[in-house]
Amino acid sequence: MKKYFSLIQRTVTGKSFRHRTKKRRPKRPPSILQSVAPILVLMGLIALNVTLLGSDTLSGANQLSLILAAGVAAALALYNGTRWNELMQGVLHTLNSSMPAILILFMIGMLSGAWMLSGVIPAMIHYGLNILRPEFFLPATVVISAVISVSTGSSWSTIATVGVALIGIGKALGFGEAVVAGAIISGAYFGDKVSPLSDTTNLAAATTDTPLFTHIGYMLYTTVPSILLTLLFFTGITFFSGSSGHPAGVEEVQRAIGTTYRITPWLFAVPVLVLVLIARKTAPIPALLLGSLAGIVFALLFQQPLISGLAGTEHVSAGRLYALLTRSLYGNLEIVTGNAAVDSLFATRGMAGMMNTVWLIVTAMVFGGIMEAGHFLERLTGAIVRRVRRTGALVTTTASTCILFNLTTADQYMSIVIPGRMFRQAYRRQGLKPEVLSRTLEDSATVTSVLIPWNSCGATQAGVLGVATLAYLPFTFFCYVSPLMSILFAWFHIRIRRLPQGESALEAKES
């Protein structure tokens, strides 16, 4: 009996399994083919999902694809001698790094429900329809999103607040949701790149040992032309689309909002509070939470008729009021205005609406953790770096590697930190100053993360704006002009800063 108990104990603790694995196969590095295989499996499954399921891929198909691709990577890693507990440590490490993003998602879900019930987002749409005309709406959307993102340093907060309102305004003016989402994201990620308050801006500078304002100033050489081209593209779309905005339709939307909500400029105190908190470097999670609670307070102050209508009685009991207010934060909230387009816009799902996105991020982190713990990513990038000789080729390789990490790790921060560490010595050996590397990281890793459906950024913005990643992708001009601009500058040696010759020669000698 003791023998059986001991066997069960060894099996549960994993000692017996680890002992047999270690004894059976020594650890060895993966081959290039093994490193590429999980990525090819993932991309093939994602392509199949998009072809067969269309916009419904985020409901579980992409999550399943990530798990299956992670299974392929785990099998190959175990075959190479990596222990199971090492793979699990890699997964736990990436999941731990994603927890702030997941918490922010829940806060954004709460905020959207509270701001819809309080009338904050409807007020933004109502007043915005008076200011933003169809003739300049798309370029103005880029500028508004950029200004707020520069001020706050957060593309996520910008998109979750002003971006949601701009989607509604654009829809009322006759523009497609995908093109409006592209304009919002383009402006927001411009601000995310150049704001000294941005976490990615600080991260890219710190990873490459570049002074922050040196990094920002040098990055403007590629970022300003990129945003100007973006504005030109959206001006052309506005001109050739010929959207008139149908003033009668705009008036109908405003009438539906005005009869359902009490619209007053005082409602703007809530988003101003959030923007001030973020500008004062308050962490996003408490800032968004306070914004949600402020929204609930303003709902009680200004929207009593709406609350009574949703509760189905003129005199709302304390219990029913509590149930309604909390449901607006965590669950479905359907506000009927009598206008079908406005009704669909004002339907929110609170924290529950973020669950598909959270599910996607978790499975993406599992895949990224196993790919890193199995040394597949290290093998791929190491093989690439050894073949690079020229400045243009080095910058192109760096940008491509950042995009590869966005695809495989599904995490924006890993796509900055890991390539930044990998390429530091390569840039010094070629006599390039560290700001050349930091600019390349921002021009590629930061902006392309939002273009990938299973990346935490792409999944988040699709969930917040209610527009599929692949739908808005063709219109996020800034996000793919930026890496192309960085590569173009490198190949034509435009504004490429070099180390003093003696310093680069010493580095080459030491290496």
pLDDT at position 13 over 70: no
Residues of the chain above pLDDT 70, percent: 86
- Among 11-20, 318-327, 498-507, top mean pLDDT goes to 318-327
Pick from 449, 368, 436: which is nearest to 402 by CA?
449
The answer to whether 355 and 333 have CB atoms below 8 angstroms apart is: no
Beta bridge partners of 185: none
Tell me how far apart the alpha carbons of residues 173 and 336 are, in angstroms, rounded to a whole number.
21
Among 2-11, 34-43, 158-167, the minimum mean pLDDT is found in: 2-11
Task: Say how many C-beta atoms besides its own lie within 10 A of residue 168's C-beta.
Answer: 24
Q: What is the mean pLDDT of residues 330-359?
A: 76
Residue 244: predicted pLDDT: 52
Structure tokens, 407: 């695809």
315 burial via Cβ count (<10 Å: 0-12, 13-18, 19+): exposed
Tell me how far apart the alpha carbons of residues 290 and 420 are, in angstroms, rounded to a whole number.
35
The answer to whether 134 and 144 have CB atoms below 8 angstroms apart is: no
Q: Quick one: DSSP state of residue 348?
A: B
Which residues, other chains included, contact 71 with Cβ-Cβ below 8 Å and sequence gap of 6+? none
Pick from 461, 446, 469, 450: which is nearest to 164 by CA?
461
Q: Break the chain into its structural domains and give their ranges.
A: 100-354
Higher-scoring residue by pLDDT: 196, 500:
500
Banded model confidence at residue 53, pLDDT cuts 50, 70, 90: confident
User: Per-residue pLDDT tens for 357-378?
Assistant: 778 778 877 887 888 888 887 7
Which residues, other chains included, contact 259 with Cβ-Cβ below 8 Å and sequence gap of 6+? 337, 338
- The one-letter amino acid code at 109 reads G
- Among 172-176, 279-283, 346-350, top mean pLDDT goes to 172-176
CA-CA distances (angstroms) from residue 145 to 169, 188, 193?
14, 5, 13
Residue 502: predicted pLDDT: 58
Residue 510: predicted pLDDT: 47
Tell me how far apart the alpha carbons of residues 278 and 296 are, in angstroms, rounded to a whole number.
20
Residues in the chain: 511
Residue 79: predicted pLDDT: 93
User: Per-residue pLDDT tens for 195-233?
Assistant: 876 778 877 887 788 887 788 889 999 999 999 999 999
Residue 11: predicted pLDDT: 47
Beta bridge partners of 498: 432
pLDDT at position 297 over 90: yes
pTM score above 0.85: no
Tell me how far apart the alpha carbons of residues 107 and 97 are, in angstroms, rounded to a whole number.
17
Banded model confidence at residue 133, pLDDT cuts 50, 70, 90: confident
Banded model confidence at residue 151, pLDDT cuts 50, 70, 90: low
Pick from 365, 403, 364: which is nearest to 384 by CA?
403
pLDDT at position 330 over 70: yes
Only one residue has tokens 């993966």, namely: 30
Strand, coil or helix: 36: helix
Residue 55: predicted pLDDT: 56
- Among 215-219, 397-401, 474-478, top mean pLDDT goes to 474-478
Banded model confidence at residue 482, pLDDT cuts 50, 70, 90: very high
Tell me how far apart the alpha carbons of residues 377 and 30 are, in angstroms, rounded to a whole number.
10
pLDDT at position 504 over 60: no
Tell me how far apart the alpha carbons of residues 140 and 184 are, in angstroms, rounded to a whole number.
10
Pick from 449, 454, 456: which is nearest to 482 by CA?
449
Which residues, other chains included, contact 220 with Cβ-Cβ below 8 Å and sequence gap of 6+? 194
Q: What is the mean pLDDT of residues 296-305?
A: 90
Residue 12: predicted pLDDT: 44
